[in-house]
Structure 1
Amino acid sequence: MTEPTRSFDDTRRWVTEGTALFTDGLDRLETGDFDADSQLPGWTRKHLLGHVAANADALGNLISWAETGVEKRMYTSPEQRNADIETAATRPAEELREWYVRGTRELDEAMDRLTPEQWAHEIITAQLVTRQASDVPWMRAREVYIHAVDLGVGIGFADLPEDFLLALVDEIRTKRGLSDDDLRAVEGPLPEIAAWLAGRPHQLVGAPELGPWL
């Protein structure tokens, strides 16, 4: 597998394209379909949509931090984040959709306002990792692309761009502590490798089971 690279421009493009794909997934659903299970264990599609909507707001907090210099964390606490998702699952589907659309628009507008100097501002993720604000588009791109698959509406990892999948595989491999030899031991097409590494259903034969991710 070739060594992937990802540029800032790549991540901004992936946010746009991934958001369009996630929105297309939502458009395939009738109102009653949102109460059905997603492909994430224990989550309905309402849980999933609420999570993606809340993620836009949370990443917007990081962009605000970079823009103003005033610290603004993604979430008040992990417990509050989880409680908000559970509350979202009880809300009407159309209300959740409107939240998602509004949050997505506001995040895009906020990112468009940042200067190069502000993109270099340090922020802290929900996992308490210090990164530059320029990593926020990548964080959002992962959310919308992978959760578009999790909606369970017929979108698969094969529908995601190859350059995004290469960057995703590289990141997850590193985070899971897997070597190039570990990957070479598992043969299969790139989308299936990405699904396996992301802890999603896949068609690989003999691939060791991995825990959940994202």
Structure 2
Amino acid sequence: MTEPSTLVISTADLLDRLAAAADTLSTKAAGLSDADVRAATELPGWTRGHVLAHLCGVANGFARQVEYAKRGERIQMYDGGQAGRNQAIEMAAGHTAAEHSADLEAALGRVLSLYGSLDAAGWQLPISYRDGVAYDGALALWRELVIHLADLGVGRGPETWSQEFCRYLLSFLADRVPANTRLKLLPLGLAPLSLGNGEHSVSISGMITDIAAWLAGRTPTMGTLRAEAAADAVDLPTLLPWPSPAPH
């Protein structure tokens, strides 16, 4: 049983993944009405408007990272830090559907253009986000676009996530496994995987999309995940928080 490997994907392929995710998101956002935007999501306290405002902020935030990196500088992800991020989301959440669509279109166009302008050296420029490089930021943007598209509840839930994306999530979210736990993941039709190295072993079986959704704190959509310990059915383990960005 092996651990999920870190995703290795070429910058050209990553740009393709980003463009596809952005196109789907823009199309779905453009089809929302004002009433749709005000509707609640499964994220506590957030409407679709909050999710769209967050996505706009994320896209502009990573664009900002690249802009400064190209000048040899690093800057925090959001103007005003986490407090600024939260305030911007609350201020924009109540916008009309048309305003959200236009803002998102502009933000996605900005960040995709900037990533598309990078040469091989540019992809390795340092950014403040998680003390990484531009390539890491692009991976994170892909993750944000795909997961939050699912949060919008517009027919692109976790069941549509590719196996490649799911494996990436399993690797990225391995830090959510409690210190005393080792998860034996048994995705249907695929080779088993392992997360964590604790003494308490729990086997979890189900579709890989459902396992990835659960690890990401989302509702599995393809079936019921089954957890077992010492051959007995048990509750799914309580996961640790999402990996936190480096404080900048």
TM-score (norm 2): 0.77
| Structure 1: 5+ residue stretches without partners | none
Which residue matches 1:137? 138
Which residue in the other structure is 2:198 paired with?
Answer: none
Deviation at 1:27, TM superposition (A): 4.1
Bigger CA radius of gyration: 2
Q: Which amino acid aligns with 2:205?
A: E
Shift of 1:82: 0.3
Aligned to 2:217, which of 192, 199, 207?
199
The residue aligned with 2:9 is 7
**Corresponding position: 1:46 with 2:49:** yes
**Alignment identity in percent?**
29
Q: What RMSD over aligned residues (CA atoms) do the two structures have, in Å?
A: 2.1
Contact 2:184 2:204 in 1 (8 A): yes
Is the 2:41–2:48 Cα contact (8 Å) retained in structure 1?
A: yes
Verify the 8 A CA contact 1:38 1:45 in the aligned structure 2. yes
Alpha-carbon offset, residue 178 of structure 1: 5.8
Query: Deviation string for 1:111-164 (max 9, x for gaps)?
Result: 111122122111111xxx211111111011011100111001222212111111
Q: Is 91-100 or 11-20 further displaced after alignment?
A: 11-20
Structure 2 partner of 1:95: 99
Residues matched between the structures, number: 210
Q: Distance in 2 between matches of 1:144 and 1:155?
A: 11
Q: In the alignment, which residue of structure 2 is the partner of 1:167?
A: 168
Which residue is 2:112 aligned to? 108
Deviations 1:64-122 (A, max 9, x none): 12211133321121111101100011222211110100010011111111122122111
Q: CA deviation at 1:12?
A: 2.2
Cα pair 2:52 2:104 within 8 Å, conserved: yes
- Which structure features the higher share of strand residues? 2
Higher helix share: 1
Greater relative contact order, per chain length (Cα 8 Å cut-off, separation 6+): 1
Residues 1:209 and 2:238 aligned together: yes
Contact 1:12 / 1:138 at 8 angstroms: preserved in 2? no
